[in-house]
Amino acid sequence: MPNPIDTYWQLKLERCQHALGKNNFDVFVASDTKAAGEVFRDRIRPTINVKTVSWGDSMTLKVTGVMDDLRAEPDIRTIETFDPQITQEERIERRRQALLVDLFLTGSNAVTETGILVNLDMVGNRVAGLTFGPKQVVLFIGRNKIVPTVADAMQRVKQLAAPANAIRHPNLKTPCMKTGACMDCSNPDRICNTWCITEKCFPKGRIKIILIDQDLGL
């Protein structure tokens, strides 16, 4: 007899895949992070010409190993925007350059069952790359990011993803790091600055999504 929880998630992922597909995203479903990496390497990578690549902060992306594979390709120039050895000014400049790459990879704070992406950014480079600039975008999204509506997505971001992301950056000093919930602060380290709600992909297929049947990221 199939595990009912496994079946539940398979059905939810299939519904989400269908809804995203109707909204012009190219969508794949993977059983785990290893399979997600294989989907990228075997089904997505051969379809795109990549000479330059960069990425937005994503815990899910990191565990797939995809960025390590791309860095190892001698003909690809990787724009590293999180290099701890460079100044903040240089990091910002590299993030500006990353908006013109062939391929931009990241995750998503939330995705609705109706096929809409919801994200909230501090600097804005991640949502900027998602929206415009890079020729191709690939998102890696764990099943725990799926919520019913945009309102649920925004609630998830403010009450879970944003505080948890602040906590994992100990150099930040925001109220939510102590409370575990958004305080709608005016703190200089505030990470909740720019909302991005992506209802449809334009041009069709520019954004490719790999939904992963695991709880991943924040």
- The pLDDT value recorded for residue 23 is 98
Averages of pLDDT over each 10 residues, the chain, 218 residues: 91 98 98 98 97 97 97 97 94 97 98 98 97 98 98 97 94 94 94 97 98 98
- Give the chain's domain count: 1
Confirm whether 123 is domain-assigned: yes
**Terminal Cα distance for the chain, rounded:** 32
Confirm whether 165 is domain-assigned: no
DSSP 8-state class, residue 73: -
Confirm whether 76 is domain-assigned: yes
- The pLDDT value recorded for residue 13 is 98
Confirm whether 175 is domain-assigned: no
103-106, strands of its sheet edge to edge: 26-30, 207-212, 136-142, 103-106, 52-55, 77-78
Give the H or E element holding residue 146. Answer: strand 146-147
Long-range contacts (CB closer than 8 Å, 24 or more residues apart) made by 199-203:
199/23, 199/116, 200/23, 200/24, 201/23, 201/24, 201/25, 201/26, 202/24
Place of tokens 């050895």: 85
Q: What is the CATH number of the domain that holds 127?
A: 3.40.50
Confirm whether 35 is domain-assigned: yes
Confirm whether 53 is domain-assigned: yes
- The pLDDT value recorded for residue 9 is 97
Say how far residue 160 (Cα) sits from the centre of its chain. Answer: 15
Residue numbers of the domain that contains 49:
4-147+195-212
- The pLDDT value recorded for residue 2 is 79
Confirm whether 199 is domain-assigned: yes
Q: What is the pTM of this model?
A: 0.96
Confirm whether 29 is domain-assigned: yes
- The pLDDT value recorded for residue 182 is 93
